[in-house]
Amino acid sequence: MPLLQINHLSHFFGGLKAVDDFTLTLEEGELIGLIGPNGAGKTTVFNLVTGVYKATEGEIVYRGQDLVGVPPHKITGLGISRTFQTIRLWDQMSVLDNMRVAHHGQVDYGLGGALLRLPGYRRAEAAITDHSMNLLKLFDFDRFAEIKAGNLPYGERRRLEIVRAMATRPKLLLLDEPAAGMNPGEIDSLMEFIHWVREEFDLTIWLIEHQMRLVMNICERLKVIDFGKTIAEGPPEKVRNDPSVLEAYLGEQAEVL
């Protein structure tokens, strides 16, 4: 059984068809990329999978369960986590608190437990803080634990978003333009970082990216969409030379020349 099976997924914003008949099979342990020009509908696909939007048509089957209509926090609880195109950290909170809140789905005490600081609360909080600190140590972030997330440098903020996503204990990690705003040197270390995270946590990774260097180097399989429609898919070498992909990115050949 594939980890994620998306069948004929379509989504409309009013009359605009943002995603059109999107189909994808994602096997466990794969690292695949979703590319396409700006406005192609890539982020919308992520938003549909993570439950931010409810798909107009089609189904998203994750480990045999249809995700359409399931609220985002439940989808995260099932093991899908993500980062965002524009960084969405909780800036006024400390790095550690960012990590702790990502454990919200694992909180098993209620309001009463929190107010009265019952033993169950203390146990749960200790476990959450431990897990958070361990992750921070693993990613070499522990020295920043008490710093407000908003005060970290840009690159660290991008990385922290991935670390925070890991706190929800995902099986499938969706990365939305992880290399946005990075220079070539930073992209190299990001590629290593993604490889390492994948090995370390035994993850399946699905990423959206514009930086061809990153996509071509680390993705095992690519899917290209434009105006919501799939225009090509396959291994990077094949996609790189696909005429319809070149056309989507660069315009028709005649115009380029």
Partner 1 sequence: MTATRQSIFARLRATPAVDWLIVRMREAPVLAYLVGMLAAVGLEIVAGRFIARALGLRGLPVLFGTIDVLEHFGNLDLSGILGPLFPATTETVVAPLAQSGAALIDQLLTFLSDIPPALLKLLQVTVYNLIVFGVPIVGLGVLLTQPAYWLMKRLPRWVGMLLQFAVLYAVVRLWGATNDYRGLVLMYIGINVILSVSLNLVNGYMGEFSVGHGGFMAVGAYVSAILTMWLFINEDVFGPALLPWVVNLPLGIGQGVGFVLALFIGGIASAVVSLLVAIPSFRTRGDYLAIVTLALNFIVLAAVNNMDSIGGARGLNGVPLWSNVAWVFVFAVLSVLAVHNLVTSTFGKGIIAIREDEIAADIMSVDTKRVKLVAFMFSSFLAGIAGGLFGHVLAYVNPGTFGILKSTEVLVMVYLGGMGSITGSIVAALIFTILLEALRPLGVLKWVFIPLILILLMIYRPQGLFGNREITLNLGFRGRKDEEPGERPDREVGDAALAD
Which residue from 20, 125, 188, 242 is in contact with partner 1, where contact means CB under 8 A? 125
Residue-by-residue DSSP string for 160-225? HHHHHHHHT--SEEEEESTTTT--HHHHHHHHHHHHHHHHHHT-EEEEE-S-HHHHHHH-SEEEEE
Which residue from 59, 66, 91, 200 is in contact with partner 1, where contact means CB under 8 A? 91
Which residue from 111, 199, 241, 255 is in contact with partner 1, where contact means CB under 8 A? 111
Which residue from 44, 144, 179, 215 is in contact with partner 1, where contact means CB under 8 A? 144
Residue entry with tokens 């009013």: 14
**Which tokens go with 138?**
């693993």
Between 104 and 238, name the residue whose CB sits nearer to partner 1: 104
**Which tokens go with 76?**
């995260």
Which residue from 129, 157, 187, 242 is in contact with partner 1, where contact means CB under 8 A? 129
Subset of 158-197 contacting partner 1 (CB under 8 A): 164-165, 167-168
Between 59 and 91, name the residue whose CB sits nearer to partner 1: 91
Does the footprint of partner 1 cover residue 152 (CB under 8 A)? yes
Subset of 29-58 contacting partner 1 (CB under 8 A): 50-52
Residue 159 CA: distances (Å) to CA of 35, 180, 212, 238: 21, 12, 20, 30
Does the footprint of partner 1 cover residue 8 (CB under 8 A)? no
- Pairwise CA distance, residues 189 & 193, whole Å: 6
Q: How far is the CB of 64 from partner 1 (least distance, A)?
A: 21
Which residue from 59, 140, 146, 202 is in contact with partner 1, where contact means CB under 8 A? 146
Does the footprint of partner 1 cover residue 137 (CB under 8 A)? no
Report yes or no: 128 and 114 within 8 Å, Cβ to Cβ: no
Does the footprint of partner 1 cover residue 103 (CB under 8 A)? yes
Cα 235 to the center of its chain, rounded Å? 21
Does the footprint of partner 1 cover residue 90 (CB under 8 A)? yes
**Which tokens go with 253?**
């050949």
Question: Where are any strands of DSSP class E within the chain?
Answer: 4-13, 16-26, 31-35, 57-62, 65-66, 80-82, 172-176, 204-208, 221-226, 229-234
Q: β-strands 204-208, 31-35: how paired?
A: parallel
Site residue total, partner 1 (CB under 8 A): 51
Q: How far is the CB of 207 from partner 1 (least distance, A)?
A: 16
Between 100 and 158, name the residue whose CB sits nearer to partner 1: 100
Binding residues (CB under 8 A) for partner 1: these are: 50-52, 71-73, 76-77, 81-82, 84, 88-94, 96-97, 100-107, 109, 111, 114-117, 121-122, 124-126, 128-129, 144, 146-148, 151-152, 164-165, 167-168
